[in-house]
Amino acid sequence: MARKVKETDDLPKAKLNKTSIKNTKRLFSYIGEHKWKLYLGMFFLLLTGGTALLFPMMLGGLVKTIEQKHFDAINKIGLYLLLVLTAQSFFSYFRVYLFVNYTENTLAKLRQAVYSHMITLPMTFFAQKRVGDLNSRMSADIAQIQDTLTTTIAEFLRQFILIIGGIILLLVISPKLTLMMLAIVPVVAVAAVIFGRFIRKTSRAVQEKIAESGTVIEETLQGITNVKAFANEFFENRRYKKSTEEIVNIAIQGGKYRGGFASFIIFCLFGAIVAVIWYGVVLASHDQLLIGDLISFILYSAFVGASFGGIAELYAQIQKAVGAVERVFEILDDVPEVLEINEHRKVVNRIAGNVEFRDVVFTYPSRLEVEVLKGVTIKAEKGETIAVVGPSGSGKSTLVALLLRFYDPQGGKILIDGKDAKEYSLTDLRNNMAIVPQDVLLFGGSIKENIAYGKPDATIEEIAEAARKANALDFIDGFPEKFETLVGERGIKLSGGQRQRIAIARAVLKDPSILILDEATSSLDSESERVVQEALDKLMVGRTSFVIAHRLSTIRKADKIIVIDKGLVRESGTHEELMQQESGLYRSLSRMQTELA
Ligand SMILES: Nc1ncnc2c1ncn2[C@@H]1O[C@H](COP(=O)(O)OP(=O)(O)O)[C@@H](O)[C@H]1O
Ligand SMILES: [Mg+2]
């Protein structure tokens, strides 16, 4: 009953049509030099199909030696059977081996192609698809393709060979009995499949209900303090009881169907066998059929029946795989950003760092109804520090995303050193910038590797120097393994301030002309903030810096402070200038924060 739901179970099916043929061709283009393995595998597949068809004939022949009193042939046929068996095992081994081999090679190429394509897709792609979804969908889709290429297609063809070959041989043995058999067996087999699928659906429904009641438990336990504080034990009890009672009802209903299925199988399937054997014996009694042939006949019928039953499910699997292939290619057909991926990421064209937002209008492609920036103009000379403040949701991070060209503005321009940002290559542009965000993501790996993310070919001396400048050397030296200390999921957990300093060290190594600090110190306690701020101050020297800050105390020294609200620049000037504006937004924000502090 508790059948495990595989990740591929939920995949939708796709119709087989012209596109799927095109996609299949495209999929097979990833085979490359491994194509011969597929062909040879197919050849072995044909051979196994052929040898499988020999068995019933030979077994029948073995029985016929008795009927026809050819006793001397018994050992000979036995020996042939052994030979066929050996050949069959041999072919099967190579068939499976070759199919797995070509599939894995093809899929590795497909996976690499999809991954390397996916990470070059523009931010709009990631904004529209949930990353978790994408990941699990990709793995389910690829698993489906994998199953299909390794086994489903081969099985499908094998069953097909068995059905066609089996029916021909049945007709050869006895056309009368064949017609009688074909009138019953396939019908019963197909009915069994449909019935079986229906039952699986009901057991799926039970599982979903069970999962639902599991959620009730989970929610209650996670929020147990709430449950108790609200004295809601009774309410939760009722909720759980209702949910378990629903399981009982659905499961009992499912039990009825399964009972029905069992009787159906017993009556119809065995009934069909009985009918065929009965008619066969009738024919034999009229000397129209040898018992040995009847045995061959029964075995072929079993082959044909089983293949009819299996082929429907295989076809469904193939349809799912076709859908999976379509979805994978959908990703591959999305238009990527134009990046010049190079391994060493040398800055080819050094940017001086004059930045100008000129009347920038922007709306996120995934949320067309909200205009986030409504004509923003900001000018930063090279080396200046520009602070951007404003309520949350006012579009500060969006400015940064535009500067990094994660998106392009719909109106206005961003000029860098007087040239439209669109005229730079994305790789060049981004190589000249570094960002220290509020939440720094470290990759699984050593501290050394994480710092070197800013410059993959950095030497250990450079890395240590960067760490020193980032005020990170002290805490790194405090770990027994120093720069080799593992961080991320399987390593140690660094505090927010420590992660921030790793990010600063990354930026130091990258040595950018334009530096972006998006609330870099907002989530730190005041002690870490002090160390991080000190490192940031050093980092900002000589670079055009955009500092987005929550705490206004950190940006007093900025060359220019921009206050944005609801997508527009409301005020701009130095701290002193802005403080002089009687009813200014900055002044009131600043007052509020000093009072709170
Ligand atoms: N990826 C996105 N897709 C759609 N809307 C977004 C996206 N990121 C931010 N927004 C919206 O844009 C507005 C500005 O966001 P943001 O620039 O992050 O504000 P801030 O950094 O000033 O707090 C908000 O209304 C936010 O909901
Ligand atoms: Mg923000």
Instruction: Dig out the tokens for 298 from the structure.
Output: 């029964």
Number of other CB atoms surrounding residue 211 within 10 Å: 10
pLDDT given at position 132: 66
Distance 415 CA to ligand 2 centre (A): 22
In this predicted structure, the answer to whether residue 341 has a pLDDT above a threshold of 60 is: no
Distance 150 CA to ligand 2 centre (A): 48
Nearest to 339 by CA among 114, 126, 515, 122: 122
Distance 478 CA to ligand 2 centre (A): 33
Instruction: Dig out the tokens for 124 from the structure.
Output: 């709009």
In this predicted structure, the answer to whether residue 574 has a pLDDT above a threshold of 90 is: no
In contact, 436 and 504? CB cutoff 8 Å: yes
Residues at CB less than 6 angstroms from ligand 1 = 127, 364, 366-367, 370, 372, 390, 392-398
Q: What separation in angstroms does the CA of 7 have from each of 144, 224, 575?
A: 9, 31, 57
pLDDT given at position 346: 59
Distance 523 CA to ligand 1 centre (A): 19
In contact, 156 and 49? CB cutoff 8 Å: no
Nearest to 103 by CA among 30, 19, 16, 48: 30
Of the ranges 24-33, 100-109, 120-129, which one carries the lowest mean pLDDT score?
120-129
pLDDT given at position 490: 65
Query: What is the mean pLDDT of the segment spanning 546-560?
Result: 85
Report the C-alpha gap between 123 and 430 in whole angstroms. Answer: 14
Distance 135 CA to ligand 2 centre (A): 26
Shortest-distance Cα residue to atom 8 of ligand 1: 398
Per-residue pLDDT band for 1 (boundaries 50, 70, 90) equals: very low
Best mutation site among 123, 130, 392, 398 for ligand 1, i.e. most ligand atoms within 8 A of its Cβ? Answer: 398
Dihedral of CA atoms 311, 317, 322, 328 in degrees, nearest 10, equals -160
Distance 395 CA to ligand 1 centre (A): 6
pLDDT given at position 172: 92
Q: How many CA atoms lie within 13 A of 516 on its CB side?
A: 19
Distance 398 CA to ligand 2 centre (A): 7
Return the H-helix or E-strand segment holding 443: none
pLDDT given at position 547: 92
Query: What is the mean pLDDT of the segment spanning 131-155?
Result: 82
Instruction: Dig out the tokens for 482 from the structure.
Output: 């120093």
pLDDT tens profile 524-551:
777 778 878 888 888 888 899 999 988 7
Shortest-distance Cα residue to atom 6 of ligand 1: 364
pLDDT given at position 588: 83
Distance 482 CA to ligand 1 centre (A): 38
**According to the per-residue pLDDT averaged within each range, which of 57-61, 301-305, 529-533 is highest?**
57-61
Question: Which residues fall within 8 angstroms of residue 447, CB to CB, at 6 or more apart?
Answer: 476, 479, 482, 483, 484, 485, 487, 502
Strand blocks (E) in 328-403 = 355-363, 371-380, 385-389
Instruction: Dig out the tokens for 163 from the structure.
Output: 């059905």
In this predicted structure, the answer to whether residue 272 has a pLDDT above a threshold of 80 is: yes
Best mutation site among 366, 373, 392, 397 for ligand 1, i.e. most ligand atoms within 8 A of its Cβ? Answer: 397
- What number does the ligand 1 atom closest to the CA of 394 have? 22
pLDDT given at position 2: 38
Report the C-alpha gap between 465 and 457 in whole angstroms. Answer: 14
In contact, 207 and 3? CB cutoff 8 Å: yes
Q: What's the predicted TM-score (pTM) here?
A: 0.71
In this predicted structure, the answer to whether residue 3 has a pLDDT above a threshold of 50 is: no
Best mutation site among 364, 519, 566, 589 for ligand 1, i.e. most ligand atoms within 8 A of its Cβ? Answer: 364
In contact, 428 and 512? CB cutoff 8 Å: no
CA 472 to chain centre: 36
Q: For domain 440-511, is the CATH number 3.40.50.300?
A: yes
Distance 5 CA to ligand 2 centre (A): 40
Distance 138 CA to ligand 2 centre (A): 30
pLDDT given at position 5: 46
Shortest-distance Cα residue to atom 26 of ligand 1: 393
| pLDDT, the chain, mean | 85
Shortest-distance Cα residue to atom 24 of ligand 1: 393
Shortest-distance Cα residue to atom 18 of ligand 1: 397
Starting from the CA of residue 389, give the closest ligand.
Answer: 1
In this predicted structure, the answer to whether residue 343 has a pLDDT above a threshold of 60 is: no
Starting from the CA of residue 403, give the closest ligand.
Answer: 1
In which residue are the tokens 């949930």 written? 130
Better-predicted residue by pLDDT, 169 or 132: 169
In contact, 321 and 24? CB cutoff 8 Å: no
In contact, 496 and 442? CB cutoff 8 Å: no
Of the ranges 180-184, 196-200, 486-490, 576-580, which one carries the lowest mean pLDDT score?
486-490
CA 578 to chain centre: 50
Best mutation site among 369, 372, 518, 589 for ligand 1, i.e. most ligand atoms within 8 A of its Cβ? Answer: 372
- Which superfamily does 8-173+320-337 belong to? ABC transporter type 1, transmembrane domain (1.20.1560.10)
In contact, 470 and 499? CB cutoff 8 Å: no
Report the C-alpha gap between 48 and 90 in whole angstroms. Answer: 9
pLDDT given at position 10: 67
Per-residue pLDDT band for 514 (boundaries 50, 70, 90) equals: very high
Starting from the CA of residue 368, give the closest ligand.
Answer: 1
Tell which phi-psi region holds residue 558, choosing left (phi > 0), alpha (psi between -120 and 50) or beta: beta
What is 351-432+514-528+544-597's CATH number, 3.40.190.10, 3.20.20.80, 3.60.140.10, 3.40.50.300? 3.40.50.300
In contact, 526 and 496? CB cutoff 8 Å: no
Longest CA–CA separation in the chain, Å = 119
Question: Which residues fall within 8 angstroms of residue 267, CB to CB, at 6 or more apart?
Answer: none
In contact, 276 and 185? CB cutoff 8 Å: yes
Instruction: Please report, for the chain, how many H helices and E strands are present, in that order.
Output: 20, 12
In which residue are the tokens 């990010």 written? 503
Instruction: Dig out the tokens for 562 from the structure.
Output: 């921009």
Question: Which residues fall within 8 angstroms of residue 196, CB to CB, at 6 or more apart?
Answer: 261
- What number does the ligand 1 atom closest to the CA of 518 have? 21
Query: What is the mean pLDDT of the segment spanning 176-180?
Result: 88
